[in-house]
Structure 1
Amino acid sequence: MADFPTRTADAPLAGGLTLETGVPGLVAYGSTFESLIDGLRHSIGRLAADDAPTRFGVPPVISRALLERLGYVETFPQLLGVVHTYEGDDRQWRELVPALRRGESWTHRHEVSDVVLLPAACYHLYPHLAETEFAEPAVFDLTGHCYRHERTAEVGRMRSFRMRELVRIDAPASVLDWRDGWIERAAGWLGSLGLPVTIEPASDPFFGSAGRLMSTMQRSEQLKWEVAVEVADGLDQAVVSCNCHKNHFSAEFGFRLGGGEAHTSCVAFGLERIALAILHRHGPDPRSWPAELRPDPGPTREEPIPDANVSRT
């Protein structure tokens, strides 16, 4: 089920699934799709309950200065969405309106603002941890709308998407164990939803020649792993990313654990991609979805998550 209904004259939102916007990689979602997203949120929350995370909802924009400080602007300029705003007065705008009406450029007096579109939910967290001395490990649960300026628009390759992300602050060895545990936990959870999965080492799409070196280092140290599932016929995509940042954020913001060095790891869930995989596997009728994802899931399941159908590469 690779293709979903789109808007037609007699079906404003056919099947309650998706609505095309005319912009590649930008999709609106109907009631059926949103009920599936809600089911996934609740299911992930139950999956993460043992970590007792502190939850945050984060805005879809973030400080441009912060992403410059963290190196994101330098390493991922091809993915960054920058917010521009009009800085002129009424008279200057009246001079630009005729150009707008003629379909010509009307952005001459726009300037880069102090915010950019959020590329990952966790970036909002780290400044709030500055100079914190943690007495014990901590886990944070963040959800937000993210944006990446993807150059392709196949199924699941979205510019705007929702991310649920867990971040752990812990000692170097322990934070890696937590990350590795979540690789298996996420794969088992997806398997319990009827989705065959593949686990593979990965790297971020760093930009330029220096970026290729960073990608090589990231893969060689196995800092990033992805859990992929089929979202359309013959098309597998990563739906969960499990990463170890080492001391990248703790060194920048000066937070520590028990008087020693703190490292961070994260696990990120792409909610729309997982929903697409569920629809591809089980169809658009909620009655055919796994019980815990249905709008009325019934009693909470008590059985353990079964072993996933996993292959490692």
Structure 2
Amino acid sequence: MTRAATVPSNGTVLADTGLPGLVTSGAVFETLIDALQASIARLAAGDAPTRIGVPPVISRELLQRLGYVETFPHLLGTVHTYEGDDQEWRELAAALRNGEPWTRRHELSDVALLPAACYHLYPQLTKAEFTEPAVFDLTGHCYRHERTSEAGRMRSFRMHELIRVDKPESVLGWRDAWIERAAEWLRTLGLAVNVVPANDPFFGAAGRMMGTMQREEQLKWELVVEVADGLSQAVVSCNCHKDHFSAEFEFRMADGEAHTSCVAFGLERIALAVLHKHGADSRHWPAELTHPVVAHPAG
């Protein structure tokens, strides 16, 4: 049985699973997540995005093709399954009851835990030709093997992503516009925002060089807010991928090359920031989350 752990900085109750970076959330937290999701949908409505649902696991082969295995091995979570027969399991079950290891017949499966919601999108665009810009909307349960108990740095979390496919100069402009749009949205939630250049946590010496190049080209910007007393974290990431995905999956614009950009919202971190600022009583939450103004088309 898990024990209820009150998080003093945000006034809500989370269930402590006993594992770092892994919690379950109560009704107040989930109500807030739902309100944030609805607010993000309103924020993105002008882009008329195509919504796509994604599973929490992904092809291991696809992650390797995307370069994730090589660049983020420290964050990757794989799935192993039992491959033995009934007799072997009876032996392993006996070992289990004796407190001995029971995983020696578990083998690596063909799937891994999903590290980013957008990774499911790009194979669907293989060899596509776009006559106009396209925006896609995905929300997924993601996993990254963080080795910390720091508030907001969860191993299992939800990511809401918007991805645009367009001409190179246009996706960059879209990304920059979303930096401003997302920052202003966070301010409507009562949060003080710091917009900073950033890089992904690439692994190893080669990864540090990649991170330096990413910063120099200003391909990644993060919107940072306070999520607990004295602790600020990135809650939104705005990125330009250039042709990393379009070249691999051979999709293009009808009149030339296609690039992609994305904006990613870390839902749990934003919820923590709102609770830290306003508390768990929804009557004190910003009107955007409790009494939103919804624009209706003329007619």
Q: TM-score scaled by structure 2?
A: 0.94
1:207 is aligned to 2:200: no
Q: Relative to 1, partners in 2 of residues 1:8 and 1:80: Cα closer, same or farther, differing over 3 Å?
A: closer
1:172 is aligned to 2:165: no
User: 2:33 and 2:236 mapped to 1: Cα distance?
Assistant: 15
After TM superposition, give the deviation of residue 157 of structure 1 in Å: 0.6
Count of aligned positions? 289
Give the residue type in structure 2 aligned to 1:140: F
User: 1:198 and 1:109 mapped to 2: Cα distance?
Assistant: 49
1:91 is aligned to 2:84: no
Query: CA contact under 8 A between 2:242 and 2:259: conserved in structure 1?
Result: yes
Query: CA contact under 8 A between 1:16 and 1:31: conserved in structure 2?
Result: no
2:293 pairs with 285, 288, 300, which one?
300
1:193 pairs with 189, 192, 214, which one?
189
User: 1:100 and 1:203 mapped to 2: Cα distance?
Assistant: 43
After TM superposition, give the deviation of residue 98 of structure 1 in Å: 2.2
Query: CA contact under 8 A between 2:143 and 2:155: conserved in structure 1?
Result: yes
User: 1:54 and 1:248 mapped to 2: Cα distance?
Assistant: 21
Partner residue in 2 for 1:24: 20
After TM superposition, give the deviation of residue 61 of structure 1 in Å: 0.3
1:271 is aligned to 2:264: no
Superposed CA offset, 1:247-275 (max 9, x none): 00000000000231000000000000000
Structure 1 unaligned residues grouped into runs of 5+: 1-5, 10-14, 303-313
Partner residue in 2 for 1:285: 281
After TM superposition, give the deviation of residue 299 of structure 1 in Å: 5.5
User: 2:12 and 2:230 mapped to 1: Cα distance?
Assistant: 25
After TM superposition, give the deviation of residue 301 of structure 1 in Å: 6.1
Q: TM-score scaled by structure 1?
A: 0.90
| CA RMSD in angstroms, aligned pairs only | 1.5
Q: Relative to 1, partners in 2 of residues 1:180 and 1:299: Cα closer, same or farther, differing over 3 Å?
A: closer
Alignment identity in percent?
Answer: 74
Matches within 5 A, 1:58-207: 58-207=54-203
Query: CA contact under 8 A between 1:199 and 1:228: conserved in structure 2?
Result: yes
Q: Relative to 1, partners in 2 of residues 1:127 and 1:192: Cα closer, same or farther, differing over 3 Å?
A: same
After TM superposition, give the deviation of residue 232 of structure 1 in Å: 0.3
DSSP-derived class of the 2:263 partner: strand
Partner residue in 1 for 2:8: none
DSSP-derived class of the 2:18 partner: coil
After TM superposition, give the deviation of residue 174 of structure 1 in Å: 0.5
After TM superposition, give the deviation of residue 195 of structure 1 in Å: 0.1
User: 1:92 and 1:272 mapped to 2: Cα distance?
Assistant: 42
Matches within 5 A, 1:177-256: 177-256=173-252
Partner residue in 2 for 1:38: 34
User: 2:16 and 2:250 mapped to 1: Cα distance?
Assistant: 44
Query: CA contact under 8 A between 2:12 and 2:275: conserved in structure 1?
Result: no
User: 1:24 and 1:246 mapped to 2: Cα distance?
Assistant: 35
User: 1:152 and 1:23 mapped to 2: Cα distance?
Assistant: 10
Superposed CA offset, 1:7-61 (max 9, x none): 459xxxxx87421111111111111111100000000000001000000121000
Superposed CA offset, 1:54-84 (max 9, x none): 0012100000000011110010000000000
Give the residue type in structure 2 aligned to 1:292: E
User: 2:292 and 2:174 mapped to 1: Cα distance?
Assistant: 29
After TM superposition, give the deviation of residue 175 of structure 1 in Å: 0.3
